[in-house]
Every structure is written in structure tokens, then in C-alpha cells.
Amino acid sequence: MTHRHALLAFLLTIASPGMAADYRSIPTEPTEGDRILANYFDRETRRLTTRNAAFLENVADWAATQAEMRRQLFEMLGLQPLPARSDLKAEVTGSIERDGVIVEKIVFQSRPGLYVTADYYRPAKQEGPLPTILYVCGHGGVKIDGVSYGNKVTYQHHGNWFAKNGYTCLTIDTLQLGEIEGKHHGTHNLGRWWWNSRGYTPAGVEAWNCIRALDYLETRPEADSEKFGVTGRSGGGAYTLWIAALDERIKVAAPVAGITSMKNHVSDGCIEGHCDCMFMVNTYRWDFPLITALIAPRPLMILNTDKDNIFPLDGVVDVYQKTRKVYEAMGAGDKIGFAIYEGPHKDTQPLRVPAFHWFERQFKGIELGDEIADTRAPKPFEPAELKVLPEIPGNERNTFIDEYFTKRVPTRLPLPESKSDWEASKALLFNRLQTRSFRGWPSAGEDLHLTEDFREEKDGIAFSKWSFDSQTGVRLPLYFAHAAGAPVGDLELIVLNALEEDDWQSFLATYGRVFSGAFPGATLPETDEEAYSSEKGLHASQKWGMLYLPVRGVGPTAWTTDEKERTHIRRRFALLGQTLDGMRIWDIRRGIQAVREFDGGSEPKLWLQASGVMAGNALYASIFEKDIHRIDLHRLPLSHQDGPELLNVLRFTDIPQIAGIAGERSQLRIYGNPEDWSYLTELAGKLEWPDKQLQIRKPVGEVQGE
């Protein structure tokens, strides 16, 4: 089975998040929506990777370029601005000596309350400081009788080998599988989509913990701070790359099974086998070779097995080849290495040996053909011997680090001091939205290729179906109902309804069987006679046009209904530097533009209407398009914490402020509790809006007494 077929049928089944996964067949054919989506991901991935490759090949000044790239990476990891280097409060809670190796059990706080547990391996006999390795662990936790001993126990053999061969080695636990168990799986299976809106990723925590680990090692007389190296596999391979790319104190790096191409992750579906710690919030739309390019010209060896199904060999080779060009451009072609060994995604002894050789060559000057006396790496310690904490500290923040690691705007936004302050804040806000949240939007000005596909008049209603290109390869339908015989230009207003799936089903129940020719291939429910009668009455009495836009993933372009698969679809969007909600905002914008292309479509007033998260999307669409007369929003979320999901948005704004911008341009009707929208009503008073500009109304059901 090819990766391509796996994506189309969504055949990837997770064995263990962050670990290897297996493909299996599902006896269902992909829908048309699945095919559209697969083609979309292929196309967007090619665009992104091609642009990144061209960038890497055309850099004239690598030193200056790397400085800006490093700043971007800090930002995408939630580390911009960089947190304060607070007191580490490092403690040695015990030590063990065995077979010529001393292991000290270390704990420090990388930020107040953010604990890092670690084991520090060093030779029992040592003269002077030694080259020192930061070993970062993959997903291999050890838990016995409900007690977590950390993944440092699983990877103890690496630290033991380094100590036996003339190094010191600090092996640190990760956030999720350490002695204090945090979370790596916010978007993977916990539904924490606000991680993207907060600009938060656990990869940032792991990177920061590595930075602070180097700070700690600089205090140790046993460690040569001019000879810091880093290595680790799987998740640890990714963290190896984060710290080596960010911190030039790392002189040599050897990531094992920690990186592959964007194509593998998005087009081929490998993202489903990885948790969130493997990815930055991809604000600047990077492909992964940009990360490895930041390590150049320092020595870097990339290691992988040839049958690793979550780091496929073709993608690993792609990253290596593109990175090698950067090293060669910097005159350091001899400082990059590549090692492949046969096998699956597994920590095997033969794959460790090239990493050992790499450090021996770079730090000790051995020749390429020289042998290492002993490449064995046993695990001599029991889990309890390596445990650092006798009990979990009461002030730990590891378990809820996602709530405070990245700064967000206050829950209660401050009102502007004056109208001029408001204008300045709006300008800044639009800049941030365009550069931090919506970089993944297509270029403006693409042709809509608007066509009318169906038209029929019945029961006094003129009903038509139109199609338009939201972007290349994403063709969406637009359904239009108005009084029969009324030219579009004579209508008083047109209401554009942005539909969620539930809205689509209600729409089908109203119009589907009556105008079945507009819905070829659709399974049509029985007609809701009451709803259809209401529509007939509306069009008989009002000169209104009603437009219905099922955005991508809804109705005719709907994809799989499996929740696990839908989760990973959303993760693919995010890895491309987009979000599903962000692209649906684009769909609504393009729907508005399509209305303007109707014959006479620019004459009637245009209203927008939506509910739930889609109401948030419609709100955003309105601030980027002109001449929206009115916006009616039902069940609008109070905060991006509950949706829509947009990259980084909670770092600089929230929905009430966006509603303020929209309400200044368009009449705004929000159906909800007035107390929940006090910021908005106070802003309206501050800016002296007309009385009819803003209304907070009771939800429709409450008005009707339901």
C-alpha cells in the first residue's frame, strides 16, 4: 500500500502516540471530500516545500539569515520573548556508584514550578572537565504501580556508555513521561485546540528545559562547557534538533529518528504517529530542513533506520540532502554526516554506534576508520535507583504548564484610552493577524471561476446553485434562494449563511427534495414541511435573498466522519501553517466576493449569519471584506479558548476585540447574555457608536419561549 492510498482512505492506526504506528485497511471507499482534501494537502505541501527549498538554495549571507531564522523558531516554540532565567534551585537528591560510573540524581526548576528530573552520569575517576552530552529521551516512560520513574530509566544505557568512555552525560526526563507527568497530546487526542490559538506547543517546553539543562551543566566543574553535545532518539531526536538549532553552546549534535519531511507528515499521514512535542507552531510555514540548517556549520549527524514508518527513509534523506547543501554553501561539507541501519522505529545497538563514533571523532579527534574499544551499552540500574523525587512537589506546574507557558491577552481586555489609541491598536492587530495567524491564506486576486450550475423556480421561489474556487483545487457550492421573478439587483438585502454540518442538514431538509437537481448524489432527507413553508412565506413577503455556503469539509465537500481521523486532518492544517477555521474564514471571504459577481449582486445590502464556531469565522471574514451591512451571530464563543482555532491569536487578541472591529464597520447582532459581552457594549459607548450599531439579544429559543 502506498502512502498516497493510506491518506485517501485514512488508514493510519495509532499504536502509541509518539511511537511507531501501523497501516491497516478499512473496507470503505474515500469520499469525494476525502479526495479533494488529499489533493489539497499534496498541493499545499508541494508549494511549501518548494518555496523552502528555493530559500535555502539562494541565501547569500547565512550568518544574518540564521539570526532571523532563529528568532522565528524561538517564536514558533512559544519562547519569544524568552522567559526569564530564574534560579534553577538545583538539588542533588542522591547518588549511586557502580562499575566505575557515578550517577547523581538531579532536580532543577527551568521556570518556577516547572521541574526537570535528571540523572547525571560521570566517571568515578576524572581529571579535569570532560566533553559533556545532554541526552534527551524519547517516548519510553517507566511506570510501576502507578509511580512514574521517568523515561530517563529507559535510556540509561546511553548515559552509562558515555560515562564509561570519558564523557559526562546529563539525561533529562521529558514533560509527559517524567516523574511529574505533564501532557504532550493536547491536539493529538485531548481536544486542546486552544494550544494552537495560544501559540503553545510542548516542543517549546522541551526546548526550554534543554536550554536550562545547559545552564545547569555550566555550573558543574566536571563538564567542559566548550564541548557540549546533544543526542537522543524519536522524541529525543526532535528535542536534539530544537536545542541544537536554538543554542550555539551545543557544538555537536546527533539526532536519531527525530526528523523527516513535511511531505511525510502531511501528504503521507505520518503526523498521526506523532504527538505535539514533535512540532513547532508553524507560523512561518517552515519545512523541516530549515531547522537543521540552523545547526550549520556545527557538526551534525542524522541517524535513522530504513524501515521506520513514522520517520520514512525518503523524507529523512530529503532533509539530509537539503541540509547538506547548506553545509556545503558554508564551506563545512565535512561537518555533516548521515547514518542508516536496517530496522524499524526502535532503539537498536547498531544504530547507536555511529552516534558514539561521531562524538569520538568531533570531540576527541579519532580518525574515521578507528574502532571504539567497547560499543556495548548495558542497563545496569533498577528504576528505583534512578528515581530523583521522593514525592511530587506541591508547587509543581508541570501538569498544567500549557495554561501559563505562553503569555496570552487578559481574559478581560482593556478598553482603549481614546479613539486614536483604538485606531493604533487596530493597525497593530491587523498586522499581527496577517503575519501570525493567516500566513497560510492564498494570494489575493485569484479568479473565482464562478459558474451557475442549476436554476429552477417553484412555489414562488427562484433557487439556484453556483460554484466558485475558494482557492486552487477547493471548489465550493453556493446556494441562492429568492422570490421568483425578482432580479437580484432589486432585492433589498442578501443574507449569506455560513453553514456548519448541522446547519447543512437542516438546509437539506428544507430545500433538498424540492430542488433535488441542485444536489446530485446527495442523500436527501424527508422535507421539513414547516421549515419549507416558512421559507415560502419569507420570499412571498420580503425582497430578501438567502445564500447558503457550506464551507470546506461541510456538505458536498465533507470528509470522513471518524473523529480520530478528523482530529489529524486539523493537525495537518496546523502543520502547514494554517488552521481549518482559518481556511474556512477564507472560504467565507471568497463567498462574499462571489456574491459581488452575481448580476446585480453589488446592489442589495449584504448580511452575514452563522452560529457556533462558524459565527466566529464569519466575524473574522467580515473585518477583511468591505460593505457588510449587518452581522447576526448565534452562540458566538466568548473566547478563542473555545474556538475558532487560529494560530497564535490568543497571544494578542480575543473575540470581543474582533467583534469591536466588526461592530464599528457593520451593524452587529449577537444572540447571547448581555453580561458576557460587557466589553463590547462599553467599547461601543467609548467610541460613540450609533444606537442601532450594536445589539445583544436573547438567543432565538429564549425569545420564542422554548
Cell of 456: 429552477
Is residue 545 within 8 Å of residue 484, measured between CB atoms? no
Among 403, 418, 445, where does a domain finish? 403
Q: Which helix (H) or strand (E) holds 6?
A: helix 3-9
What grid cell was written down for 679?
466589553
Q: Is residue 133 part of a domain?
A: yes
How many Å apart are CA 273 and CA 263, to the nearest integer?
Answer: 14
Task: Indicate whether 573 and 613 sit together in one domain.
Answer: yes
Going by C-beta distance under 8 Å and a sequence separation of 6 or more, which residues neighbour residue 328?
Answer: none
Query: What is the three-state SS of 386-411?
Result: HCCCCCCCCCCCHHHHHHCCCCCCCC
pLDDT confidence of residue 272 = 96
Sorted by sequence, the CB contacts under 8 Å of residue 259 that are 6+ apart come out as 237, 238, 241, 288, 291, 292, 302, 311, 316, 319
| Intervals of the chain under pLDDT 50 | 1-27, 703-706
- Clarify whether residues 576 and 478 are in a common domain: yes
**By three-state DSSP, how is residue 697 classified?**
strand
Same domain? For 278 and 374 the reply is: yes
Same domain, 261 and 121: yes
Which residues have a Cβ under 8 Å from the Cβ of 564 and sit 6 or more positions away? 14, 189
Which SS3 state, helix, strand or coil, does residue 701 take? Answer: helix
Is 466 in contact with 594 (CB distance < 8 Å)? yes
What's the confidence (pLDDT) of residue 371? Answer: 86
Helices (H), 287-348: 289-293, 313-329
Q: Please tell me whether the peptide bond between 123 and the residue prior to it is cis, using omega within 30 degrees of 0.
A: no
pTM above 0.85, yes or no: yes
Phi, psi angle pair for 261, to nearest 5°: -85, 160
The answer to whether position 21 is within a domain reads no
Among 403, 418, 440, give the residue marking a domain's end: 403
Matching residue, cell 502516540 = 17
- Between β-strands 130-136 and 168-172, what pairing exists: parallel, antiparallel or unpaired? parallel
Q: Taking the C-alpha atoms of 608, 614, 617 and 621 in order, what is their torsion angle to the nearest 10 degrees?
A: -20
Q: Let me know if 371 is exposed, middle or buried by CB neighbors in 10 A (0-12, 13-18, 19+).
A: exposed
- Give the three-class secondary structure for 525: coil
Total Cβ atoms within 10 A of residue 319: 26
Q: Specify the pLDDT at position 217.
A: 98
Query: Same structural domain for residues 543 and 662?
Result: yes
345 near 234, Cβ under 8 Å? yes
Answer whether residue 5 is part of any domain: no
Give domain status of residue 22, yes or no: no
Asked if the structure places residue 31 within a domain, the reply is no
Q: How many angstroms from the chain centroid is the CA of residue 174?
A: 20
275 three-state secondary structure: coil
User: Count of domains in the chain?
Assistant: 2
| Contact indicator for 212, 175 with CB cutoff of 8 Å | no
- Are 327 and 434 in a shared domain? no
Q: Based on the domain organization, do 343 and 469 belong to the same domain?
A: no
107 domain residue, yes or no: yes
The answer to whether residues 398 and 449 belong to one domain is no
Are 52 and 287 in contact, with CB atoms under 8 Å apart?
yes
- Phi, psi at residue 401, to the nearest 5°? -60, -30
SS3 label, residue 40 = helix
Report phi then psi at 361, rounded to 5.
Answer: -70, -45
Residue 29's pLDDT is 74
Three-state DSSP class for residue 211:
helix
Task: Say what the pLDDT of residue 28 is.
Answer: 54
Query: Is residue 151 domain-resident?
Result: yes
Expressed as residue numbers, the domain containing 455 is: 428-703
CATH number reported for the structural domain that contains residue 600 in this entry: 3.40.50.1820
| Residue 48 belongs to a domain | no
Kindly state whether residues 286 and 225 are assigned to the same domain.
Answer: yes
C-alpha to C-alpha distance for 619 and 660, rounded to whole angstroms: 10
Q: Are residue 349 and residue 433 in the same domain, yes or no?
A: no
Question: Which of 403, 418, 446 is the endpoint of a domain?
Answer: 403
d(CA 622, CA 608): 8
Cα 87 from Cα 81, distance rounded (Å): 18
Bridge partner residues of 653 (DSSP): none
**91: helix, strand or coil:** strand
Q: Given this model, what pLDDT does residue 27 score?
A: 39
Task: Go through 464-481 and write b for each residue having 16 or more CB atoms within 10 A of its CB, e for each that does not.
Answer: bbbbbbbbeebbbbbbbb
Residues 397 and 436 reside in one and the same domain: no
- The angle at the Cα of 306, spanning 301 to 308, to the nearest 5 degrees, equals 95
Specify whether 282 is located in the same domain as 336.
yes
